[in-house]
Amino acid sequence: MNSNIAIKVGGVGKLYYRGRARHDSLRDKIEDAITGLFGRKAGNDKETGSFWALKNANFEIARGENVGIIGLNGAGKSTLLKVLSRIVTPTEGRAYVRGRLGALLEVGTGFHHELTGRENVYLYGSVLGMSRREIASKFNAIVEFSEIADFIDTPVKRYSSGMYVRLAFAVAAHLDPEVLLLDEVLAVGDFTFQRKCIEFSRQLQQRGVTILFVSHNMFSIKAMCRRVIYLKRGQIVFDGPTEEGLTLFEGDSRLSTAPWFHAEEKVPPIEFDYISLCAGSGEEKTIFAHGESMVVRLRYRASRPIRLPDFRVGFDRIDGMHCCTYSSASDGIGLGEISGQGEIELRTPPLKLVADQYTATICVCEGIDGRLICGLHGETFHVGHDKFNKDGFGVFNERGEWSFTPRSP
């Protein structure tokens, strides 16, 4: 392997089995051999209910590169990182990692709930391969970076998810790794801590550390990575410049059927083929400031007449929290009946959402009873603000009116 290559993946695939635990153990090998004697081919996908979580992955990553791994849920991103970190053995192909490896794949992995933060720093550091002396020498720096010094002697079972990720990231980052694998670790961190982690990752990169970063947060990917690998159904469909990869990914992610929608009709009575999020001036964009209005434009095609349609646009936070819904019917837009093609536009009031990533969802209800006939995931966007973030301010923030009356002692 070239000395300038930190990670090399050649023909890597991982096969999983549905319905029962199977990890290519000795028992599984014996079972395959026995079933083979009776004429059933071991490993037949249809007969065993198996599926490829990752298939024929090939790429190389040079020392000091920051590479983002993107894709929808179930695309194989986490499986790839688990193969690289040697948690999972690939079914086929080989993966090479050169240098000291640090991996933060799940929040709190290696933590013991009954132990304090202090004790877990030593425990987790040991899991990552640090000696006790090394952990002790870096302990103060780890606690300072995590910003939870006041709770370092509190059992971690009382920590919030944000506190978990702060401490876990701080320990992993101070491992002094040569290769660092990060799997969606910034999703539960507040906006300020995310920026801090991104800046720290840049410092690691300047020291020649190779970083492989899995995230659904396209803002973080853009900030950290010049290159992305886009996985789709377990296969690499793009490997190249970040902007080009994100454009392809966001295009594929638009207007996909929402998992909560179950169609009653074989032929969808209404379909959407276009969505755009725009500033008030009409410019398309995906990053909005807190307090800025948004214009949502939709283009539809109805295959049959739809009576009393109610067009709804909702905003879901990246963690699945439904934040709000705008309804044409509730807002007094009475539509008797629609058919054929058409466009609809929503202009929101100033966005009061706190800083985070969101997805616009689209649904259409029909009739007086509001029967759901369409449900889609739409465009993803970000709301930015230096202060208002989800850890400190919840879902939205509005200006209040305050008064203060001092009282004499």
Task: Look at residue 30 in the predicted model and tell me its pLDDT.
Answer: 60
Structure tokens at 62: 């040079």
Strand partners, 235: 232
287: number of CA atoms within 13 Å, CB side? 7
Query: Pseudo-torsion of CA 2, 172, 232, 62, nearest 10°?
Result: -20
CB 30 within 8 A of CB 24: no
316-330, 334-348, 369-383: range with highest mean pLDDT = 334-348
Q: Can you tell me the distance from the alpha carbon of 73 to that of 249, in angstroms, rounded to the nearest whole number?
A: 12
Residues 6+ apart with CB under 8 A from 395: 317, 321, 323, 353, 354
- Of 62-66, 340-344, 376-380, the range with the lowest mean pLDDT is 376-380
Q: Can you tell me the distance from the alpha carbon of 5 to that of 97, in angstroms, rounded to the nearest whole number?
A: 9
* Amino acid identity at 222: K
Q: Can you tell me the distance from the alpha carbon of 351 to that of 381, in angstroms, rounded to the nearest whole number?
A: 12
Residue 339 has pLDDT above 60, yes or no: yes
Residue 39 has pLDDT above 50, yes or no: yes
Q: Output the pTM of the full model.
A: 0.63
Q: Residue with structure tokens 């709770």?
A: 151
3-state helix vs strand vs coil in the chain, percent to 5: 25, 35, 35
Each residue of 203-225: pLDDT tens digit? Answer: 888 888 999 988 877 777 887 88
Q: Can you tell me the distance from the alpha carbon of 116 to that of 145, in angstroms, rounded to the nearest whole number?
A: 17
Strand partners, 231: 236
Residue 154 has pLDDT above 60, yes or no: yes
Residue 337 has pLDDT above 70, yes or no: yes
Alpha helices in 102-241 (DSSP H): 117-127, 132-146, 161-173, 191-206, 218-224
The domains located in the chain, with CATH, are: 63-251 (3.40.50.300), 254-393 (2.70.50.60)
Q: Residue with structure tokens 């000795």?
A: 26
Residue 319 has pLDDT above 90, yes or no: no
Summary count for the chain: helices (H), strands (E): 10, 18
Top-confidence residue, 351 or 32: 351
* Amino acid identity at 81: L
Secondary structure letter of residue 207 according to DSSP: T
* Amino acid identity at 295: V
Task: Look at residue 45 in the predicted model and tell me its pLDDT.
Answer: 47
Strand partners, 272: 300
Q: Can you tell me the distance from the alpha carbon of 114 to that of 118, in angstroms, rounded to the nearest whole number?
A: 12
Q: Residue with structure tokens 């008064």?
A: 403
Which run of H or E residues covers position 66? Answer: strand 66-70
Q: How far apart are the first and last CA of the chain?
A: 76
Write the DSSP assignment of 292-348 as a string of letters: ---EEEEEEEEEEEEES-EEEEEEEETTS-EEEEEETTTTT----EEEEEEEEEEEP
Mean of the per-residue pLDDT values of the chain:
84
- Which class for 71: exposed (0-12), middle (13-18), buried (19 or more C-beta within 10 A)? buried
Alpha-carbon distance values, 159 to 111, 319, 393 (Å): 11, 18, 18
212: number of CA atoms within 13 Å, CB side? 29
Task: Look at residue 367 in the predicted model and tell me its pLDDT.
Answer: 92
Percentage of the chain lying above the pLDDT 90 cut: 42
Strand partners, 377: 256, 361
